[in-house]
Amino acid sequence: MDSYLLQTTTTQTNEEMIDELMKTYGQDVLQLVVQYVHNVTIAEDLTQEIFIKCYKALPTFQQQSSMKTWLWRIAINHAKDYMKSWYFKKVELVEQTYLQERPSYQTVESIVVQRDEDDALVHAVMQLPIKYREVIYLCYYEEQTMKEIADVLQINENTVKTRMRKGKQLLKKQLEEEFNG
């Protein structure tokens, strides 16, 4: 995909390029953003904003990295900016508190049936601090190499390895507590 885009940048219009990016990476970007904001509806809105940003920034793309890495940087930065926003800190926090206070009418049996190892793992990953969650997500869900993760996050490769190791330790501890406690 990237080589195709890079070879055709002179003949393709920006509209065609962004359309190709959306078709190729749209679902991946959405899943990446969901990992940050934990809300599919908000992630869908942010994903649209990300592709608008990409469209506007296409003329400045200098091909120093792959198109996918460039897109991932924009997506991660946009998601982090959203998480720093007043809306996320104030409105989302109030909504989460309200939802947690509502009584649950599920039976114990239905809760046990719903919970399997995959759900526990996803939940545990989502509970990790963002710096560990993002390296685990990019490595295991996006199947990126340590170097690619370092490029996307704009950090040292050794930092990626350290965060990966610490993230796995935290995951192991969380899962042991959940299954043993």
User: In the chain, where does the domain assigned CATH 1.10.1740.10 lie?
Assistant: 1-102
Options 3.60.15.10, 1.10.940.10, 3.30.9.10, 1.10.1740.10; CATH of 1-102: 1.10.1740.10
108-181 in CATH: which number?
1.10.10.10
Would you call 65 helix, strand, or coil by DSSP? coil
pLDDT at 116 over 90: no
pTM of the predicted structure, to 2 decimals = 0.56
Phi then psi dihedrals of residue 136, to 5 deg: -65, -45
> With contact defined as beta carbons under 8 Å apart, do 37 and 91 qualify?
no
Structure confidence at residue 160 (pLDDT)? 92
Element (H, E) at 131: helix 130-136
Measured CA to CA, the distance from residue 136 to residue 157 in angstroms comes to: 14
Q: For the chain, what is the mean pLDDT?
A: 77
Per-residue pLDDT at 88: 61
pLDDT tens digits along 142-155: 888 899 989 989 99
What residue ranges of the chain are covered by domains with CATH 1.10.10.10? 108-181
- CB neighbour list of residue 114: distance below 8 Å, 6 or more residues apart: none
Q: What is the pLDDT of residues 25-51, one digit of tens each?
A: 999 999 999 888 888 888 899 999 999
